[in-house]
Amino acid sequence: MDKIRVGGGNRLNGTIEISGAKNAALPLMCACLLSAEPLRLTNVPTGLQDIKTLRQVLESLGVAIATNDDGAMIMQATQISDTHADYELVRKMRASILVMGPLVARTGTATVSLPGGCAIGTRPIDLHIMGLEAMGAKIELDGGYVHAKAPGGLKGAEITFPKVSVGATENIMMAATLAKGETKLYNAAKEPEIVDLAECLIAMGADISGHGTDTITIRGVEKLHDALHPVVPDRIETGTFMIAVALTGGSLTLKRARLEHLKALVGPLKAAGVHIEDSADGSGVIVSRNGTPLKGTDIMTEPYPGFPTDMQAQFMTMLTQCEGAGMVTETIFENRFMHVPELCRMGANITVHNGSAIVRGVKRLKGAEVMATDLRASVALVLAGLVADGDTYVNRIYHLDRGYERLVEKLSAVGADIERVASA
């Protein structure tokens, strides 16, 4: 299995183009199941393993998919030949559950394996099931599969999520586009990826309002049609590269980055001493740190627009190089501190107590063999390697392949000493 070698000590300078957001592209791909006409998506991060896995899931259901070299993907579900999403595919990635809502809405039935993904805590699908049941679907769990049936079609309903769930909001919003009557989602997720999905569905002919707020209204239509939609730039990739230059010093221009999606990260980064501004031509963001020491600061993960849980591990890595101490409190996933022992192997000073971690800055990290435990932990260890003495070897990088497009190439192009190494 391949690993990544990172040599520490190089400043980063140059330009990186931000890819389309994985967490936006996945539900957008599932939206193709709602129409017999083609859905054309641009700026799709087609090299990511999660995108490839979902493509296999969709093709197994009868979707015809073609991709261009420029990241465009054309999908057409003229006829859905199968409504059974198999365990062997779904187990690889949690987002596969997002085929359930569109399948039930379009065909009246779906059988979907319980999903897999990163081992960062329990992420039940009870809210997905609750929403579909409220719309009239009959749900059974049997043999590791969710069997959903609505032979008479789904019906509009008022659904209050007991807690904010991005996936459940996406699944039910898609299902409601073809339901009879009006559906209202209360305590809905507000992430930019939700807004992106809603805008794509509207381009397909859906009647949706309130996306970006905690109350989304969907008025069902008879059918959806073809559309062309660009995938929103990846805010988590953007934030990761922001922290990379915060750690190493230098200056990066992040093309296509959108600061309005990262306000909860930008504030703590500026407090730590990082300079961030929109580029003069409006095409992206410039991030720099030249000589000023970083200062410790506190963060708490929360649903959007709060601090994103997907940036917690990277921010913790930055805190290891700050003067003083910072506290990281994780409120979304209970197992998302699994990167802490690996950072401590590199010399970090981190104390975990329940859902919080105190990070005390150290003068230098030291290169070591470390093991990735999930997607964001993987990239946090790569970031640590950028400022560690000597070489760091990050193992189990299949996690990285799921969510970061051409990470090694992008960092190498701006001065990092980094390479992918084939295992002996």
Annotated binding site for UDP-N-acetyl-alpha-D-glucosamine: 94, 123-127, 163-166, 310, 332
Q: Which residues does 134 contact at the CB level (< 8 Å), separation at least 6? A: 157, 158, 159
Position of tokens 């960062």?
Answer: 120
CB count within 10 Å of CB 243 equals 25
222 burial (CB, 10 Å; 0-12 / 13-18 / 19+) is exposed
Active site residue 118: yes
Contact present, 341 and 316 (Cβ < 8 Å): no
Q: Which of 118, 200, 322, 344 is catalytic?
A: 118
400 SS3 class: helix
Annotated binding site: 22-23, 94, 123-127, 163-166, 310, 332
Report which DSSP code applies to 28.
Answer: H
Annotated binding site for phosphoenolpyruvate: 22-23
Contact present, 272 and 295 (Cβ < 8 Å): yes
Question: Which structure tokens are listed for 307?
Answer: 């601090």
For β-strands 215-219 and 207-209, DSSP reports them as antiparallel
Contact present, 326 and 319 (Cβ < 8 Å): yes
Quick one: which of 164, 165, 232, 235 has its CA closest to 199? 232
The amino acid present at 189, given as its one-letter code, is A
Phi, psi for 363 (deg, rounded to 5): -65, -45
HSE-CB for 18 with a 13 A CA cutoff: 27
Quick one: which of 287, 313, 289, 288 has its CA closest to 299? 313
Quick one: which of 75, 38, 80, 74 has its CA closest to 62? 80
Contact present, 322 and 272 (Cβ < 8 Å): yes
227 SS3 class: strand
DSSP letters, 113-174, are EPP----SS----HHHHHHHHHTT-EEEEETTEEEEE-TT--B--EEE-SS--HHHHHHHHH
List active site positions. 118
